[in-house]
Structure 1
Amino acid sequence: MSFIKFNKLWFVLILIAAIFSALYLYYTLFPGNISHEVYRHFSPLEISKAQKYHRINRLIYITSFLTKASFLIWFVFGNNALKLSHYIENTASGKYYLNVFLYFIALWVIVRLISLPFSLLSHSVQVEWGFSVQTMASWWSDYFKSATLDFVFSAVGVLLFFVAINSWPKTWWIKATIFLTIIMFVQIFVYPTFIAPLFNNFTPIHDPKIINMVKEISKNAGIKIDRIQEMDASKRTTLANAYFYGFGNTSRIVLYDTLLKHYPDDEIKAVIAHEAGHWKENHVLKGMIIGILGLILGLYLLNILIYSSVLITYGKRMTPAVMAMIYLFVLLINFDTNPIQNYISRQMEKQADLLSVKYIHDKNAVIKLQIELAKKSLLDVDPPPFIEWFSYSHPSTMHRIELVQKANVK
């Protein structure tokens, strides 16, 4: 007998993932026709190259997901998760929390090893297409740094979970929500100071030209932009980007050095204006609040799943094998809610695009930026509607151009 009951909730989660996977794979292989409007801005060769590049990346993504999901479904419902728990229990000499920790290590290593070939393949694609300049030594250095951070934080999280569920069986998910909400807010202060500098150098921008742009945009936006930094992205990539991070006193705009070096002033100004739009609208804070609501719902659903489908325990305590079930649940729920998460993100990006036009009073610069970014980054400017709906955190290039063209400039 399996330690997990395959109930209706599991059926729904897996069915949704299967439908989305099938549609994603179909539209990756058969993307359909391109709108004639696209050819006003991009050549057939540019469109063809971008489609080929994204077909490769999408196949890697969906194959990676299906491989991990298939393994975890087999591992959980094939009783193999419980077998591993029994084996480790003998090694741990009956010490419960040592058993939990050893089980975590084993499962973490297994999942990492499953994901590793896809990560390596994705890196090789970026190198082949000229977007990554990282050597394998540099890539492995980044990989081990991120893996170490993931291991430490995940190990602490797992141990706290088992302490909570064994101490407060009925209310653990409420306490977990409170704890994780605090962690999310603490992360806003910790990430830029301790985590991000492990991977990149961040320096304040003193270029008078950029400072003047920031002053003008700050005035037009009615906000005080007092933190704008340059990140040395060029040691890894040729791609240009920028992002807004934080809220309140932690707010900052980060520009890739590849953007500052290879894009004209009017387009850099459009990027800063876009990020200022995120700043003005407190999108990070709003995103966190939405994330907390999602966290509450997710933990409540996980609580229902645990007590409706776990058939075997560890004496009076939760079996460590439930960890594999949680891995499967997190993988499925993140995949199944992709359209919701990305819809929210796209709405914020649309708002920032419209505000960027308002702040610089120049539609042409914003449109020119989108075209330039698409050409240099090989963006799929007119993806199949399902692909955009399911997986795009930003509107597609053509949708962004159409949005800006319709904007009122005052």
Structure 2
Amino acid sequence: MEHIFIYTFVILYILNFFLDLFLSRLNIKHLLKYPDPPKPFQEFIEAEKYQKSIRYSMSYYRFHLFSGTVSAVLFLLFVYAGWMNAIDLKLYEIVPDETWRGICFFFILSFLSYLVGIPFGLYSTFVIEEKFGFNRETLSLWFKDQVKGILVSSLFMLPLSYAILYFMSSTGAYWWVYVWCLFFLYNLILLQIYPIFIAPLFNKFSPLEQGELRTKLEELAQRMKFSIANIYVIDATKRSTHSNAYFTGFGKTKRLVLYDSLIKEFSTDEIACVVAHEIGHYQKKHILKHIILSQSTALLFFYLLSIALNHPYLYKTFLVANQSTYMGLILLSFIVSLVLSFFSPAFNFFSWKHETEADQCSLDAIEKKDAFRTMLIKLHVQNLSNLVPHPLYARFNYSHPPIKERLERVGLL
């Protein structure tokens, strides 16, 4: 009977892998149908730079093809060649306490995943991004980031992992409610402390100086009835020339962060459009809706885990000999992440809807409507983004509508 579950998971996993490859290939073939800049964007991008964006997309397509294949093969070997079970059996011999055994297993799994990702991360940053003029990061800075990232992740994941596994084994039949409450509280705390204690470990955040831009943004926020007291500039160009802006934090720790590259390359009116869009997400309560959705999903996950935790077929599906709380948590996460990947278009549908609503909020608030159009196009052009992605690929992989559709949705094209 367990063979049915094994075959089902493996077939779905391979199907998802080939679906991803098919969509990526479809997207590249669609892009190559446009050797010249599409008509709506011809005045904003030179033919040479457009060809560069095609080469950039092609580079990442080949990179994704290779890295995705290697990752898929290693995952299947890790599970079905018995490597995962062998590690678990060895831990049973040397770590008698289940909670600490689970923490050890989590860290081994994270470390192996990290090791696999290192060459891909290095190639992406120091070959592709370097080749196309985006990378500003040195190997020394990259190494420092890795060390800091490992230390920070360990500092937060160790107590969280211990608390989750402890609650799972000691709070009775309704442990999933307690674990979810713990998980929810952890995320709220992380939202509070991230901008103040964690983000500054990796970047320098400087208050935006008084001047035309700050005045413009404060007046914009006042018109939109939004508090925007904390505005910071991040030294993003020490790693990359890509541009962006975002809100971070929660409550009193909420702050607007502008990339220094955004300030350098975009006009005051265009930056105001970016900020108005981000404010629009708050006005439409998209952030709150996202938190509710993500926490509801987490609650459902823990409830399903409470049902499946003692089911032998959960473990037999992945050739695991011993049932345990930590292994059940990991195995169900494998299943859930695989299933959810097939529903990406549904999730992106709502994400696109939210982005369109935020775009409309921005247009309603700004003074120069055409600045919104130039801002969006410049962001895509300067980041060498694909201006003509295949619609099906976009539905599976884009959290934002493609630029042409995005402009059409708000009547600017």
Match of 2:400 among 372, 375, 394: 394
Per-residue CA shift, 1:269-318, capped at 9, x if unaligned? 2222222222323332221112112222333444455434125675xx61
Distance 2:47 2:339 in 1: 38
Match of 1:371 among 361, 372, 377: 377
2:19 paired with 1:24: no
Range moving further from structure 2, 126-135 or 106-115: 106-115
Distance 2:11 2:161 in 1: 26
Stretches of structure 2 lacking an aligned partner (at least 5 in a row): none
Match of 1:349 among 346, 355, 369: 355
Contact 2:67/2:120, CA 8 A, preserved across alignment = yes
Give the aligned partner of residue 314 of structure 2: 309
> Where in structure 2 are the equivalents of 1:40-189 lying within 5 Å?
40-41=42-43, 42-61=45-64, 63-92=66-95, 94-124=96-126, 125-168=128-171, 170-189=173-192
Distance 2:160 2:18 in 1: 31
Structure 1 residue 184: Cα displacement = 1.7
Structure 1 residue 98: Cα displacement = 4.0
Distance 1:233 1:395, change over 3 A: same
Amino acid paired to 1:119: G
Distance 1:169 1:106 in 2: 28
Amino acid paired to 2:363: V
Distance 1:22 1:99 in 2: 37
TM-score, normalising length: structure 1: 0.86
Structure 1 residue 53: Cα displacement = 0.9
> Where in structure 2 are the equivalents of 1:201-240 lying within 5 Å?
201-240=204-243
Distance 1:118 1:144 in 2: 17
Distance 1:369 1:405 in 2: 15
Amino acid paired to 2:273: A
Structure 1 residue 50: Cα displacement = 1.5
Give the aligned partner of residue 404 of structure 1: 410
Per-residue CA shift, 1:243-265, capped at 9, x if unaligned? 12244433322111111122222
Amino acid paired to 2:102: V
Match of 1:197 among 173, 197, 200: 200
Structure 1 residue 334: Cα displacement = 5.8
Amino acid paired to 2:118: L
Give the aligned partner of residue 14 of structure 1: 13
CA RMSD for the aligned pairs?
Answer: 3.0
Range moving further from structure 2, 301-310 or 8-17: 8-17
Secondary structure class of the residue paired with 2:71: helix
Distance 1:97 1:180, change over 3 A: closer
Contact 2:308/2:314, CA 8 A, preserved across alignment = yes
Distance 1:286 1:396 in 2: 23
> Where in structure 2 are the equivalents of 1:248-267 lying within 5 Å?
248-267=251-270
Amino acid paired to 2:57: H
Match of 2:367 among 361, 367, 371: 361
Distance 2:288 2:348 in 1: 16
Secondary structure class of the residue paired with 1:405: coil
Distance 1:281 1:9 in 2: 41
Per-residue CA shift, 1:111-167, capped at 9, x if unaligned? 111111111111121122111101011011112222232334334343333323333
Range moving further from structure 2, 383-392 or 12-21: 12-21
Structure 1 residue 213: Cα displacement = 0.8
Contact 2:169/2:325, CA 8 A, preserved across alignment = no
Match of 1:339 among 342, 345, 355: 345
Contact 2:232/2:257, CA 8 A, preserved across alignment = yes
